[in-house]
Amino acid sequence: MIEGHNIICFSNDWDGDPLSKKHIMLRLARKNRILWINSIGNRNPSASVRDLRRAFKKVQAFSGGCREVAENIFTFSPLAIPFHGNATARAVNRRFLAWSVRRAYRRLGFKNPITWTFLPTSGEVVGKLDEKLIVYHCVDEFSQFTGTDKNAILNMERDLLRKADQVLVSSGPLYETKKLHNPRTSMVTHGVDLDHFRKACDPKTVIPGDISGLSRPVIGFFGLIADWVDLNLIGFLAMSRPSWSFVLIGKVDTDVSAVEGLSNVHLLGQKPYSALPSYCAGIDVAILPFVVNQLTFAANPLKLREYLAAGLPVVTTDIPEARRLGKHVRISTSNADFLAHIETYLAHGAGPHLSTSEAMAGESWDAKVEEMSCLIQPLLAGEKRE
């Protein structure tokens, strides 16, 4: 692992669910110091109550300066104008955002940091922070998220790609598109917190009451319930098998009318990351019912490996990174196919199996961070960007 460096990380908000970014930085923090920059926004804000509350929280967080959230990890919430298609807003961000981030890291004693950014919207600032190295770590096709200014995001990302000393991507489709703009692009797929999710295979793990009492079998999904989740498919499955229970665990961020009113569909809401293995212990078959579009085609869903680390059989819609795990999952190309795959698993003994979990032994986050470090270490040897 790289060590002894100061890293500025542009990412999502630290207090959110632990995504790939947090798993990576927690491991790098064992031997480096991290300044985690909370989200500077990707989509254009609306006048909704939710967005107004979010803006107010951002102002409050900015006034609080840096705070230590874990060993060697400090967070900072800068103010940024999220209208990325507006030239004036971008100019203000370039100046004020760069100034505030420099001020924050200097107060921590950082010098010549590495910038490790997961956000294309950081492209206006990256390169202006006295960095010795720039890493762009792309884990999504950001221009395809609902509510974004697609052209602005693409232009900012291409600028960032040109600046980066190393580009890391998490999926094959992302590799194909990003290497066109930077030949120093490498693919490192997501890892998994194996020991955490393997708890689902332990017979002593207690299944939470809101899932343990449901009629069997239990077909489960966890993650953000957004517009990329195919709720029409879930509705089809639930109506086709009314005696089965379908459990959706996660924050709801889209219209769920396709499953509302179905008595065997249970929206359990968001659960703590620490509790997910307990819920997995109560699931017979895990599902990844994604709408197939440009966003999901490029995605490498973290939950695929988490399901498998929990020992669960998995049925998924047909996306490239599911095919990469094809020998461990069943991939469907139609609603009827999806249902048939679930039935096949149920006929052969569903629920968590330790043998399935052990298949993920080589996919740990520790191994992935070492792989990334091996790519970055030679670039650091010169200490200066070309």
Distance CA 164, CA 353 (A): 42
Whether residue 61 is predicted with pLDDT greater than 60 in this model: the reply is: no
Q: Report the 10 Å Cβ neighbour count for 13.
A: 16
Q: What pLDDT shows up at residue 124?
A: 84
The pLDDT tens digits for 245-284 are: 999 999 999 999 999 999 999 999 999 999 999 999 999 9
Query: Is residue 162 scored above 90 in pLDDT?
Result: yes
Tens digit of each residue's pLDDT (9 = 90 or more) over 214-233: 999 999 999 999 999 999 99
User: Rounded to whole angstroms, how far apart are CA atoms 16 and 75?
Assistant: 13
Q: Which helix (H) or strand (E) holds 269?
A: strand 265-269
pLDDT at 96: 83
Assess contact for 5 and 114: CB atoms under 8 A: yes
| Domains, the chain, with CATH or none | 6-191+364-380 (3.40.50.2000), 194-362 (3.40.50.2000)
Amino acid 51: pLDDT: 47
Category of 93 on φ-ψ map: left (φ > 0), alpha (ψ -120 to 50) or beta: alpha
Helix (H) / strand (E) element for 6: namely strand 6-10
Structure tokens at 196: 């955490």
Query: Three-state SS for 228?
Result: coil
Residue 314 pLDDT class (50, 70, 90 cuts): very high
Q: What is the pLDDT of residues 357-379, one digit of tens each?
A: 999 999 999 999 999 999 999 99
Q: Which of 3, 62, 69 is nearest to 35 (CA)?
A: 69
Distance CA 105, CA 101 (A): 6
Confidence at 386, pLDDT banded by 50, 70, 90: very low
* Model confidence at 69: pLDDT above 50: yes
Write the pLDDT tens digit of every residue in 331-360: 999 999 999 999 999 998 899 999 999 999
Percent of the chain scoring above 90 in pLDDT? 78
The string of pLDDT tens digits covering residues 188-207 is 999 999 999 999 999 999 99
DSSP 292-315: -SHHHHT---HHHHHHHHTT--EE
> Distance (Å, rounded) from C-alpha 118 to C-alpha 138?
6
What's the pLDDT at 49? 53
Q: How confident is the model at residue 87 (pLDDT cuts 50, 70, 90)?
A: low
Mean pLDDT of the chain: 90
pLDDT digits (tens, 9 = 90+) for 105-139: 999 999 999 999 999 999 889 999 999 999 999 99
Return the exposure string of 157-186: e unless at least 16 CB atoms fall within 10 Å of the residue's CB, then b. bbbbbebbbbbbbbbbbbbebbbebbeebb
